[in-house]
Structure 1
Amino acid sequence: MLTAKQHQLLLFIHSRLSADGVSPSFDEMKDALGLKSKSGIHRLITALEERGFIRRLPNKARALDIVRMPDGTGDADRGQMSANVVPFSAPAKPEAQPSHGRDQSPASDQVDIPLHGRIAAGTPIEALETVDSYITVPQSMFGTGDHFALTVDGDSMIESGIMDGDTVVIKGCESAHDGEIVVALVDDQEATLKTLRRAGRDVELIPSNASHKTQRLAAERVKIQGRLVGLLRRY
């Protein structure tokens, strides 16, 4: 079963292939779906490929092929729904819609966002790019922008109330203020959840647990992937 965004993207690709035989660019897909960045399109394309709806043709730019369409989508339905793809990119109240996540009813106070995997709140672990699943969270937790969720692995942030096994909600961004809790990507390989502090030309990633040490790294080794905006816990 496809999410609303996956279904919308599949119909958009199908309409462009039917019209001129060329798949749309990632920028065109991003604009058509109303997303803020192309990373969301990469995730949707990967999900559609994994589910057997599309395939990428090797050694060709912008080369996507439709393998199959969802059951019950006839030719007439495809034409009608494809014609409605672009208007979906301009919802009446875009500030209430996170750009990464499944479409929800306007009356709903719930939204689905991608759960990417585990994030270390201790020693950094390998960064995870794939979407493991989706979780439903209150829409009131969000402002504008891209959002995703990660499961906490470790105890280095317990003094900030972040426990092993908690799910953190992250707003995607490339910069943050000192004192904010961020997802930091170290050397383009390892991701960790820490409090950010700049120290001259270096960056400090500070734990909230006296038994863990602060990491001090050259600023060019650290990329901010997002900042903490919410936390979910099961009892």
Structure 2
Amino acid sequence: MNMNLTPRQQQVFDLVQEAIERTGAPPTRAEIAAQLGFRSANAAEEHLQALARKGAIELVGGTSRGIRLKSDTLRALRAARADDTMAPPALLAAAALSLPLVGRVAAGSPILAQEHIDQHYQVSPALFPVKPDYLLRVRGMSMRDAGILDGDLLAVQRADDARNGQIVVARLGDEVTVKRFQRTRAGIELLPENPEFQPIRIAPGSTDFALEGVAVGLIRNTALM
């Protein structure tokens, strides 16, 4: 896409986009600096601020991963990826998805059981790099530093496995939680993005753990009001 980005700004933009598609969350300033060879996170911040001024991204204050691709940017990216054998990009953007919003989840029942669905939202598919299956209202601030805040709507694709580093929706006994996934030799760790919370460790073969899906996007809690 053409936003008159400098080569360095394009590198930063591509890195942010790839991280969101791969893990469901943007990189930190320190991660951008490390991957692109900047001397400090401040240099990454300067490029992010320039991208925000040019309208390529949106910065959310107070979190280390508060970087978002704007909806029109996502639409342009989706259109750019559509080849001649697919529907015209204008039709892709216009074809709204109807996604169920999952509220409180009762113990032992499927997350998409009818009694868990509060309502349906019509949203543009251009908001997400891949098609989600449902929206989950985030409760609590354990993922604050990933830019995922209390009341946000997490777009989730159903999955029973995940890659290390992906943000997932997991069931732990009677609770459903959003955390970053990490598989180790000792089992599975569910990592918060807030130092006030502790990691959750799952022993191999635990019957209290089930993966419900992986995050593929986020809608700020005020966007659909």
Structure with bigger RCO (C-alpha 8 Å, 6+ apart): 2
Q: TM-score, normalised by structure 1?
A: 0.48
Structure showing greater radius of gyration is 1
Q: TM-score, normalised by structure 2?
A: 0.50
